[in-house]
Amino acid sequence: MCVQVIPFCKTHTFLLPIPYFTTFEVMPEKQRVCLAYSGGLDTSCILAWLIEKGYDVICFMANIGQEEDFEAAKEKALKIGAKECYVENVIDEFVKELCFPAIQCNASYENVYLLGTSLARPVIARAQIAVAQKEGCQFISHGCTGKGNDQVRFELAFYALQPTIQVIAPWRIPEFYETFKGRNDLLDYASKKGIPVTSTKSKPWSMDENLAHCSYEAGILEDPDTAPPADMWKLTADPITAAPNEPEDVIIDFEKGVPVKISSKSQNASDPTALFLAANALARKHGVGRVDIVENRFIGLKSRGCYETPGLTILRNAHVDLEGLTLDREIRALRDQFVTIGYSRILYNGLYFSPEREFLEASIVESQKTVNGQVRLRLYKGNCFVIGRSSKTSKLYDMSESSMDEIGSFEPSETGGFIKVQAIRLKKYGEAKKEAGEDLVKRA
Q: pTM higher than 0.85, yes or no?
A: yes
Structure confidence at residue 21 (pLDDT): 47
SS3 string of 6-65?
EECCCCCEEEEECCCCCCCCCCCCCCEEEEECCCCHHHHHHHHHHHHCCCEEEEEEEECC
* 291 Rama class: left (phi>0) / alpha (psi -120 to 50) / beta: beta
Range 30-34 average pLDDT = 94
What phi-psi label fits residue 38: left (phi over 0), alpha (psi between -120 and 50 degrees) or beta?
Answer: alpha
Would you say residue 82 has pLDDT above 90? yes
For 257-265, what is the mean pLDDT?
A: 98
Q: Is 12 a residue whose pLDDT tops 70?
A: no
Tens of pLDDT along 161-203? Answer: 999 999 999 999 999 999 999 888 999 999 999 998 765 555 5
Residue 404 has pLDDT above 90, yes or no: no
Average pLDDT value for residue range 147-160: 96
SS3 label, residue 218: coil
Q: What is the mean pLDDT of the chain?
A: 91
Cα 215 from Cα 235, distance rounded (Å): 10
* CB contact at 8 A, 36 and 141: yes
Residues of the chain with pLDDT > 70, as a percent, come to 92
CA distance 409 to 377: 32
Residue pLDDT, tens place only, 44-55: 999 999 999 999
Where does the pLDDT of residue 409 fall: very low under 50, low under 70, confident under 90, or very high at 90 and above?
confident
As a whole number of angstroms, the distance between CA 315 and CA 257 comes to: 10
Tell me the pLDDT band of 402, cut-offs 50, 70 and 90: confident
What's the pLDDT at 197? Answer: 77
- What pLDDT band is residue 112 in, cutting at 50, 70 and 90? very high
Query: What is the pLDDT confidence band of residue 256, given thresholds at 50, 70 and 90?
Result: very high
Give the residue-averaged pLDDT of 238-267: 97
pLDDT, position 406: 78
For residue 24, name the pLDDT band (cuts at 50, 70, 90): very low
pLDDT for residue 28 is more than 60: no
SS3 of residue 243 by DSSP:
coil
| Separation between Cα atoms, residue 24 and residue 8, nearest integer Å | 7
Find the mean pLDDT for residues 357-376: 98
Say what the pLDDT of residue 403 is: 72
What pLDDT, on the 0 to 100 scale, is given for residue 22?
45
Please tell me the predicted confidence (pLDDT) of residue 133. 98
* pLDDT value of residue 87: 98
Average pLDDT for residues 291-317, to the nearest whole number? 96
Question: 320: buried, middle or exposed (CB in 10 Å: 19+, 13-18, 0-12)?
Answer: middle
The residues annotated with a catalytic role in the active site are: 42, 121, 150, 206
Say if residue 211's pLDDT is above 70: yes
SS3 label, residue 388? strand
| 341-349 helix and 116-134 helix, angle to the nearest 10 degrees | 50
Write down the pLDDT at residue 23.
45
